[in-house]
Amino acid sequence: MPADELAALREREQRYRMLVETIPLGLVWLDAQGQVRSANPAALHILGLSLAQLQGRVPIEGRWRTIAEDGSDFPRDRHPAQVALRTGEAVRDVVMGITVPGRGDVWIRVNAQPLRVDGAALEAYASLEDITEQVRLSRELRQQASTDFLTGLANRRSFMERLETEFQRVRRYPRQASCVLALDLDHFKRVNDTWGHAAGDAVLRQVAALMQRAVRRPDALARSGGEEFLLLLPDTGRDAAVAMAERLRLRLRATPTRVGETLIPVTISIGVSAISPADTAASQVLARADAALYEAKRAGRDAVRLAG
């Protein structure tokens, strides 16, 4: 090779090496057996490993735990680099979480490209992009969209999605009983008028916390607006739902909210309704719970009523 061509080749190689060494995108090379052969500094930083720790390892080893976006274990047979080697096809935009020493869970977007000779995948390279911040912000936005900012409970929109899921389940399995409670703090306007809105907010937060501690893990508790709450009790019949409502009523009645040196008494009225297989829409369940709630208020408040 002429000297000028050799010099040009070396210059291109140097530029390529500099590009690979300095770009923020992680690059990992794997051989035909799926073992890591090399990686650039960005990949080592993202993975929290040295090149010596990485070389010769297979990304699907059991000690390399990766998680899917829903928190479950990422299927080993779907690892992008392994899929690319197995199928000979490129794999794009796979999101997975990894545990990095000193950083905790890190989320990465992975692309994998096989390098083929005569139709056979001889090796592959994977690109890694750290998207931890994007995932965190996305989760925060989803939480804000489904959460009541004052109490931290689910909001009405989120509750209705959960209710619809439970409603469809009961329709499929009519023997599965589930109930909905509509709850409303009694004379809450007096709290705001007498002690101020800051005190009213304190009452709402305490009521939410008291109820949250009283419900089960499968239950769904939401602040639906103002001083109104909703509670879904899956796999719960009418009698058990009424008993739960009574426990909540008594607990709130016995636990006034302390604001400074003042104790603010709180009572609640509750309507109970069961999901019926004969219902054609989840809104019918809520309508019956609301009607029972109004009966409790007409009866003098601080009461529980079961829809007929």
Decide if 21 is catalytic. no
Dihedral of CA 231/237/242/246: which sign? negative
Q: Cβ neighbours of residue 265 under 8 Å, at least 6 residues apart?
A: 253, 256
- The three-state secondary structure class of 160 is helix
Mutual angle of helices 188-195 and 197-214, in 10-degree steps: 140
How many degrees, rounded to 5, is the angle at CA 161 between CA 158 and CA 167? 140
Dihedral of CA 4/8/9/13: which sign? positive
Task: Give dist(CA 267, CA 269) in Å, integer.
Answer: 7
Please tell me what DSSP assigns to residue 83.
Answer: H
**Of the listed 11, 69, 133, 227, which one is catalytic?**
227
Give the residue numbers marked as catalytic: 227
